[in-house]
Structure 1
Amino acid sequence: MPVIDVHTHYVPRAWPDLGAETGEAAKPWLRIESERDATIMLGSGEFRRIRHESWDAGARLSEMDADGVDVQVVSPTPVFFSYGASGPAAAKIARIFNDLALEICAPAPARFLPFCQVPLQDPDLACAEVERCLAAGHRGVEIGNHVGDRDLDDAGIVTFLQHCASVGAPVFVHPWDMPGSPRLNRWMAQWLTGMPAETHLSILALVLGGVLDKVPRSLRLCFAHGGGSFPYWVGRMDNAWHGRPDVIATSEHPPSHYLDRFSVDSVVFSEPALRLLVDTMGPDHVLLGSDYPYPLGERPVGKVVREAGFLGEDDRARLLGGNAAAFLGLS
């Protein structure tokens, strides 16, 4: 069984002027600093410094070999989602980045499995783009965990998830667009507390919003960053479902009933956290993830899974690749 990392990102080394392409406000652009270094810019402000591993297939393959990773799922960097734009503009942006993703992955198609992005704010356009991308060679879709104030139980997003189930597209859900405040704008607190909270909230919306009662069991869903803080608080949510059914019990069953309906990645950085994750989700619903190539990702990829003393070899193999193969629909 190959080792499969389901959580990695790409950034192209160049793309067209998105404002000129869409006729809408300025969008992200890339400030090239050298052959190996660049910075994603939002207007005049720096968003993230990146290195050539973000776009250079050879560099990625070298680091994959060093870490013992056979296959990467290569997904968009969420800042490119453009959910705040109009649907048609976001569709143009998605097409641009999705086509560039195929170019980045082309040198090693057996080792790079591209996931597309879609204009999630417009369900019809999102469904059309995921179909176009699957036909072009993408293996699934990455979506943000919300569109403005619309969470995963929004009717339009549910329509898109139902469509993904019908066309067999696995869905990777990534937190993004965390709120800022004076308390969150230091120490990378948006990433250290906001991302786990965003993922927790969206899984809660998926469950308590009744989405998993509406979508078929064939829908393959995986949440980034170990499901955020959700796995730690399943007992609290069950207690609320039973104790305050007047406001909580909008789903047919308590939250713990749905744990076999989605997966999470393994990028939680410590063995005790991984053990909690496996105990909560089960060994069939945790997939190897790293958040490569970003600094808050795990390197070497899979270190915690490989060294976890509580895992038997069969379960370790599931986490390193078997569960991802099932999520991706690989033979």
Structure 2
Amino acid sequence: MRTTIPTIDIHTHYVPRGWPELSQVAGGPGPWPWLRVTGERDAMLMLGETEFRPLLSNAWSADDRLEQMDADGVDIQVVSPTPLFFSYANDPEQAIKVSRIFNDLALDICEPARGRLIPFAQVPLQDTDAACRELDRCIDNGHRGVEIGNHVGDKDLDDEGIVAFLQHCADRDVPVFVHPWDMPNSPRLDRWMAQWLVSMPAETHLSILSLILGGGFDRLPHSLRICFAHGGGSFPYWVGRMDNAWHGRPDLIAKSEHPPSHYLDRFSVDSVVFREDALQLLVSTMGTEGVMLGSDYPYPLGESPSGHLIRSAGFLSEEQRRALLGGNALRFLGMEEATQPEPEALVRSAS
């Protein structure tokens, strides 16, 4: 019988060790992602002829992930797609086929872990009806939630079609994880990984703001469980500025029923912010219940070991630490009353 809260990492990614050639399965022009396997434990994720990211076997091997989780003191990982697979810019019929391929492969990757790896699906978000159908198929087949990108082309999360999809997630009691992707590119952003260091935080900020100022949260039920990656990007730092703009320029800003700070209890963020003072600001802004452990495993810009910042943060009480390490994630995942298949793996103290 479980007596302690499991430690849950809600932000990790997977890449399968190969998949069908998408140009033949989905059709249409590329470039399509593919995997150039360079060794038993090494590969290069490719986009057409361009090298996108080097990978190790922990991207696809349940055994490798479990070994690292045990070393880090993590009981459960939420395993989400790598955003490169989303295919939002493609024809919806192509994106449907791509989503089905990767969603089924995600189940294969997670199955050997017997409940310690929880798969999140991807959907063809550019087509609301198709996205809802694929979500239903995936949830019925064993996925617990869905990861979406923070925009579809020029459509932000307050777009009617995306709001309708989020409403469907709320109706089905499915948690949503929002990850930035398809960041703006320019000569100024090509240096120093600036797309990842500047554009990613800005994209996440914009996606939260779109749900607020675009009236998305006003149209969606409070039952929607939605979490944003990378500590909410730059959003938590600028809540005061956004409130000031909402009150000072209502002719341009006040499209929402309330100022931005009113909506802080409508979403969660992960903890991948790396510094204790940044985590303290995050908890102060979002509240203890609004922050969950996330590492961005297995990528090099993630936190390693997972959970180190939360475990070492001196300002957290032990109750707060347990909430951030796992208690909040249990609610987000709808697992508070669930019986876990591997209870001996879940009795590690979250403190």
Secondary structure at 1:107's aligned position in 2?
helix
Asked whether 1:143 is paired with 2:151, we answer: no
Cα distance, 1:165 vs structure 2: 0.2
Structural mapping, 1:56-205, within 5 Å? 56-205=61-210
Residue 301 of structure 2 aligns with which residue?
296
1:239 matches 2:244: yes
Q: In the alignment, does 2:317 pair up with 1:312? A: yes
How many residue pairs end up in the alignment? 331
Query: In the aligned structure 1, how far is the partner of 2:219 from the partner of 2:128?
Result: 16
Question: Which residues of structure 1 form unaligned runs of 5+?
Answer: none
Q: Distance in 2 between matches of 1:153 and 1:247?
A: 17
What amino acid does structure 1 have at the position aligned with 2:168?
H
Q: For residues 252-263 of structure 1, what are the structure 2 equivalents within 5 Å?
A: 252-263=257-268
Match of 2:342 in 1: none
Partner of 2:37: 32
2:11 is the counterpart of 1:7: yes
Distance apart, 1:22 and its partner CA: 1.3
Question: Which deviations, in whole Å up to 9, do the C-alpha atoms of 1:227-279 show, x marking residues without a partner?
Answer: 00000000000000000000100000000000000000001001000000000
- 1:18-57 residue pairs with structure 2 within 5 A? 18-26=22-30, 27-57=32-62
Corresponding letter in the other structure for 1:178: M
1:261-300 matches, within 5 Å, as 261-300=266-305
Q: Distance in 1 between matches of 2:19 and 2:119?
A: 17
**Amino acid corresponding to residue 70 of structure 1 in structure 2:** D
1:215 aligned to which of 217, 220, 243: 220
Q: CA deviation at 1:24?
A: 1.0
Distance 1:164 1:88 in 2: 21
Pairwise CA distance, 1:23: 1.5
1:239 and 1:10 mapped to 2: Cα distance?
40
**In 2, Cα distance between equivalents of 1:40 and 1:235:** 40
The one-letter code matched in structure 1 to 2:51 is E
User: d(CA) in 2 for partners of 1:289 and 1:115?
Assistant: 14
Shift of 1:304: 0.5
Which of structures 1 and 2 has the larger relative contact order (alpha carbons within 8 angstroms, sep 6+)?
2
Q: Deviations over 1:197-234 (max 9, x none)?
A: 00001100010000000011110000000000000000
**1:177 partner amino acid:** D
Partner of residue 16, structure 1: 20
Identity across matched positions, percent: 69
Q: Distance in 2 between matches of 1:296 and 1:313?
A: 27
Q: CA deviation at 1:109?
A: 2.8
What residue ranges of structure 2 are gaps of 5+ in the alignment?
Answer: 338-351
- In the superposition, the TM-score normalised over structure 2's length comes to 0.94
Runs of 4+ in structure 1 over 3 Å off: none
3-state SS of 1:106 partner: helix
Tell me which amino acid in the other structure corresponds to 2:89: G
CA–CA separation in structure 2 for the residues paired with 1:150 and 1:253: 22
Q: Give the secondary structure class of the aligned counterpart of 2:251.
A: coil
Provide TM-score, normalisation by structure 1.
1.00
Give 1:223's aligned amino acid.
F
- Separation of aligned partners in 2, 1:43 and 1:55: 21
| Matches of 2:113 and 2:57, distance apart in 1 | 17
1:261 counterpart letter in structure 2? R
Instruction: Return the letter of the residue paired with 2:22.
Output: L
User: What SS class does the counterpart of residue 112 from structure 2 fall into?
Assistant: coil
